[in-house]
Amino acid sequence: MLHSSLKQYFGFDEFRPGQQAVVEKIVAGQSAVAIFPTGSGKSLCYQLSAIHLPHLTLVVSPLLALIQDQLDYLVRRGISAVRIDSTQGREVEMEVMRGIKSGAHKILMISVERFKNERFRRFLSEVPISLLVIDEAHCISEWGHNFRPDYMKLPTFQKAFKIEQVLLLTATATPKVIEDMCAKFSIGKENVIVTGFYRSNLHLRICSVAEQQKNRELLTLVVDKPNDPTIVYVTLQKTAEVVAHFLVHRGINAVAYHAGMKSEEREQIQNEFMTGKTACIVATIAFGMGIDKSDIRRVIHYDLPKSIEGYSQEIGRAGRDGQPSNCIVLANLDNVQVLENFIYGDTPELESIEQLLKEIPQDNRHWELQIGTLATKCNIRQLPLKTLLVYLEMKNIIKPLYSFYGSYRFANLVSNEVVLDKFQGERKAFVKAIFDNSQTARKWTNVDVKTICSAYDTPRDRVVAALEHFNEQGWIHLEATQMIEVFEVVGNDFEVGVLAEELFDLFRKKEEIEVNRIHEMVSLFESDVCLSKLLAEYFGETVSWAACGHCSVCNAGSVHLSKSANLPNLAFYSYPMLVNDFEQKMSGKTTPDLIARFLCGIAVPRFTTLKVKSLPNFGVLENYRYHEVIGWIESNRIQ
C-alpha cells in the first residue's frame, strides 16, 4: 500500500533511509520523531502519511517561503494542500476554511504565529485533525540552538484541539533536545527514528586563517572551479556586501544576500542561484532554510558559525546529490566576541522588562500593542520582546485573542467613480463613505478605518473586507501595515519587581547556554579527533570507525585557532572620551549595560530612534568581552 502510493504520488520506487519506518508508525496511529540529516527527505514522511489518514494533517513550519515551496510541490503531485497566512485576504482565508470543513483538503500548512488568532483557533476546534506535524521541531526545546518561544505552546494546542498524533521533524537535535521534545509530547523512545548524521561525501576542513588573510584564502578556494555552486557564510550583513564585492572584482560570479535586503531582491537572488545564473552566494544565516539545490559543491564559513548545530545545518546544504563536496571553515578567534555580543544583545535590561510589565493595562481586559512601537518604548529587540510575551502567556497573565492591521492605504488602478458605479443602494453609500473618509496624497490614499466605522456605524471587518474585495477585483492596489496584536489580560495581580527579576533570570540562563555553545564549537574545531566522528557523536550517533579519512584532522592533524593581536588593556582608554557624546545623546539616561551595548556595537531599538549608531564610538570596543566592558564602565562610574 505505502509503496504503491510512493510511486503513484511521488514517482519513487524506494524509500530513503528512515522514511518507511516513520510513515508506518504514523499510519498505524502512533506519534513519531524523525531526525534525518538536512536534505534527507523528512517532508515526505508527513506528505505520504497524510494521504492515508482519515482527517486533516496540520503542518507547522517556521517560514512562509518554506510553506509555499512545499505547497507548490504537493499541488504538482495531485495532493490537495492549502495554507493560511497573513498575506492572504479575508475571502481567500474563508474559502480555504470552507474547503477544509468539507473535507476537500488533506494538508493545511501554517506558521506557528497563526495560533495567536482566536478566529483560527475557533476554526480548528470545529475540524477533526489526524496529525500535527512540527517542522524544525528542535525550536520547541529551550536546550535547542534555535529556541522559539511560540513553539513552547504547541503541546498545549495539541491537547486543546484533541490531536491524537504528532510527528516531529528536525535535522539537528542532540540527545538532550530529543529527550525534551519527546517529554513535551509524550512520545516513547521506540518511536524516535534517527538515520545518522555522518555523510561520507562531505569533506570537512578547518583552516586556521588570520583575519587579514581570509580574502586571499577564500579566493584560492573558489577560483579553481568558479562555476561550482557555493555558499559563503558570514556573520554580519556588512561583511556579506564587502566579501561579495571583493569576489566580483576578482572575476567571481558572486552576490551578497542578507535580511537587510527587500524580500523581492532576496527572492530574485535565490532564484538566480537555484537556476545556476549566480554561482556564489555570500550570505548571513538568513540564506539556506528551505533551499533544495542538490549540487552545492562548497559551503565555506568565512566567519565562525554560531553553534555546532548551526554549523551542521549549514554544511548539510552541500552535496545533497551524494557527490563529493567541501565544507570549509576559515577559522580564528577574532569574531568570537562578536558572536557573544549577538547573544548579550538579546537579553533585555532589567529596567526594560519592568517597563514592559508596567505597560500591561490594570483597568482594561484588552491590551492592544504593536510590536515595533512597544519594542522602541521598552528598548527591547523584537525577538526577545516576543519571547517575553510568550513567557507572560505561559504564566497566565495574558492570552492572545486576535491581530489586525492598524494601517491601510491604496493606490487607484481605476477612478473612485468607476468603483462606485459597480454598486447600488446601501452598498454604494457604504463604498462612498470609505472614499469620503480617506485622505489622498500624490499616489497613495490613506484609509481612516476608525472614522469610517464611526461615521457609517459599521464593524471594522466590513471595511477591511470591502478594501480586500476592491484589491481582488483589480480596482486598487492595497497595502496593509502595522500589525496590531490584541491580548486579553487574564491576571494582573503580580509584583512588577519580583516578576521582572524572574523573567530576567530566564534570559540570563539562556544567555549562558548560548555562549557555551560557541565555546563548545571552538573546542570541536581545535580537537585532534576526526571531525566527522565528533560531529556524529555530538548528535548521539554511535560510529564504529575512529577516522573518516577525509576531514582536515584525518589528513593534516588538528589546528590551533589564534587571535590577530592582543587587545590593549581597557585602562588604556579614556572613559569620558568614549562615552560623553553617547551620554549627551541619551540625555544622561544610561545604565552600565546600555553604555556597554553602545561601546560593543550591540544595537537596541532606542539607538535606532536616536541615531546613536552614527556616533564615532559606536562599536569601538566590539572585540572586547562584553562583561569586561561592563566591569570597566562600572569602575569608571564609581570614580
pLDDT (tens digit, 9 = 90+) per residue, 350-368?
Answer: 999 999 999 999 888 899 9
Q: What is the pLDDT of residue 639?
A: 60
Helix axes 531-538, 308-315, angle to 10 degrees: 110
> pLDDT value at position 600?
93
Walk me through the domains of the chain, giving residue ranges and CATH numbers.
Answer: 2-194 (3.40.50.300), 202-340+516-556 (3.40.50.300), 404-487 (no CATH), 570-638 (no CATH)
Q: Using 50, 70 and 90 to split pLDDT, how confident is the model at 288?
A: low
Is the distance from CB of 19 to CB of 25 less than 8 angstroms?
Answer: no
Q: What's the whole-number mean pLDDT along residues 76-104?
A: 87
What mean pLDDT comes out for the span 584-593?
Answer: 89
Give the Cα separation of 95 and 84 in Å (integer): 10
The sign of the CA dihedral 529, 531, 533, 534 is: positive
Whole-angstrom distance, CA of residue 335 vs CA of residue 269: 27
pLDDT over threshold 80, residue 299: yes
Give yes or no for residue 186 having a pLDDT over 90.
yes
Residue 290 confidence (pLDDT): 60
Residue 259: pLDDT above 90?
Answer: no
Reduce the secondary structure of 180-199 to three states and give it as a string.
Answer: HHHHHHCCCHHHEEECCCCC
Tens digits of residue pLDDT in 366-380 = 999 999 999 999 999
Q: What is the mean pLDDT of residues 598-611?
A: 91
d(Cα 90, Cα 446) in Å, to the nearest integer? 20
Interstrand relation of 254-257 and 107-110 (parallel, antiparallel or unpaired)? unpaired
Chain-centroid distance, C-alpha 491:
30
Output the nine-digit C-alpha cell for 113.
504565529
Q: pLDDT per residue over 462-520, tens digit each?
A: 998 899 889 888 999 988 888 898 999 998 889 999 999 999 999 999 899 999 999 99
Residue 62: pLDDT over 80: no
What does the pLDDT read at residue 127?
95
* pLDDT surpassing 90 at residue 66: no
Q: State the pLDDT at residue 295.
A: 94
Please give the torsion angle defined by the CA atoms of residues 159, 161, 163 and 164, in that order, rounded to the nearest 10 degrees: 50
State which amino acid sits at residue 182.
Answer: C
- Give the Cα separation of 292 and 172 in Å (integer): 17
Q: How far apart are the first and last CA of the chain?
A: 78
Query: What is the structure's pLDDT at 39?
Result: 73
| 396-428: b (≥16 Cβ within 10 Å) or e | ebbebbebbeeebbbebeeebeebeeeeeeeee
Q: Is the pLDDT of residue 190 over 70?
A: yes
* Rounded distance between C-alpha atoms, residue 294 and residue 292, angstroms: 6
Residues 560-574 have pLDDT tens digits of 998 877 889 999 999
C-alpha distances out from residue 116 to 150, 158, 173, 288, 444, Å: 9, 14, 27, 27, 31
pLDDT at residue number 421: 94
> pLDDT value at position 425?
93
Q: Confidence band (pLDDT; 50, 70, 90) for 65? A: low
**Most confident among 108-117, 118-127, 227-236 (mean pLDDT):** 227-236
- Model confidence pLDDT, tens digit, residues 386-400: 999 989 998 999 998
Q: Which of 345, 291, 326, 249 is nearest to 69 (CA)?
A: 291
The tens digit of pLDDT for each residue in 500-516 reads 999 999 999 989 999 99
Q: 559-590: buried (b, 16+ CB within 10 Å) or exposed (e) per residue?
A: bebeeeeeeeebeebebeebbeebeebbeeeb
**pLDDT-derived band at 289, boundaries 50, 70, 90:** low
Q: Is the pLDDT of residue 426 over 80?
A: yes
As a whole number, mean pLDDT of residues 260-270 equals 87
The pLDDT of residue 286 is above 70? no
In this prediction, residue 41 carries a pLDDT of 85
- Least confident residue range of 84-98, 232-246, 325-339, 523-537: 84-98
Kindly report which listed range (38-47, 273-282, 542-551) carries the lowest average pLDDT score: 38-47
